[in-house]
Structure 1
Amino acid sequence: MTDAFDAQPELADDRVRLRPLKADDWDALFAVASDPLIWEVHPAHDRWQEPVFRRFFDDALASGGALAAIDPATGEIIGSSRFDVRRAGEGEIEIGWTFVARAYWGGAVNRSMKRLMIAHALQHFDRVIFLVGETNGRSRRAMEKIGGVLTPRLDHAEMAGVPVTHVVYAIDREGFERGPLS
Structure 2
Amino acid sequence: MTGFLGNLAEGFEPQPLLVSARLALRPLCEDDRASLAKAAADPQIWAGHPATERWRPEVFGPYFDLLFASGTALTVREAPTGRVIGTSRYYATTDAPCVPSVGFTFLTCDHWGGGTNFELKRLMFGHAFAVSETVWLHIDPGNIRSQTATGRLGAVHDHDAMLDYGTGPGLRQCWRLERTAWEHVLAERA
- Alignment size in residue pairs: 181
**How big is each residue's C-alpha offset from its partner over 1:137-162, in whole Å with a ceiling of 9 and x where there is no partner?**
1111100111111102323558999x
Paired amino acid for 2:156: V
Q: 2:148 aligns with which of 141, 148, 153?
A: 141
**Paired residue for 1:55?**
62
Matching of residues 66-77 of structure 1 within 5 Å: 66-77=73-84
**Paired residue for 1:95?**
102
- State the secondary structure of the residue aligned to 2:97: coil
Paired amino acid for 2:71: G
Deviation (angstroms), 1:46:
1.4
- CA separation of 1:16 and 1:65: change in aligned 2, threshold 3 A: same
Q: Distance in 2 between matches of 1:123 and 1:37?
A: 34
- CA separation of 1:62 and 1:146: change in aligned 2, threshold 3 A: same
Query: TM-score, length-normalised on structure 1?
Result: 0.90
**Paired residue for 2:181?**
175
| 8 A Cα contact 1:44 1:159, kept in partner | no
Which stretch of the first structure deviates more once superposed, 171-180 or 58-67? 171-180
Matching of residues 101-180 of structure 1 within 5 Å: 101-156=108-163, 164-180=170-186
Which stretch of the first structure deviates more once superposed, 31-40 or 164-173? 164-173
- CA separation of 1:35 and 1:120: change in aligned 2, threshold 3 A: same
Q: 1:65 aligns with which of 58, 62, 72?
A: 72
**In percent, how many aligned pairs have the same letter?**
34
- CA separation of 1:51 and 1:68: change in aligned 2, threshold 3 A: same
Paired amino acid for 2:51: A
Which blocks of at least 5 consecutive residues in structure 2 are unaligned?
Answer: 1-7
Higher relative contact order (CA 8 A, sep 6+): 2
| 8 A Cα contact 1:60 1:66, kept in partner | yes
Q: Distance in 1 between matches of 2:65 and 2:166?
A: 16
| 8 A Cα contact 2:10 2:98, kept in partner | no
**Alignment RMSD (CA, Å):** 2.2
Q: Distance in 1 between matches of 2:148 and 2:106?
A: 15
1:80 maps to 2:95:
no
**How big is each residue's C-alpha offset from its partner over 1:54-82, in whole Å with a ceiling of 9 and x where there is no partner?**
11111111111100001012111110000
Which blocks of at least 5 consecutive residues in structure 1 are unaligned?
Answer: none
- CA separation of 1:18 and 1:158: change in aligned 2, threshold 3 A: closer
Query: TM-score, length-normalised on structure 2?
Result: 0.87
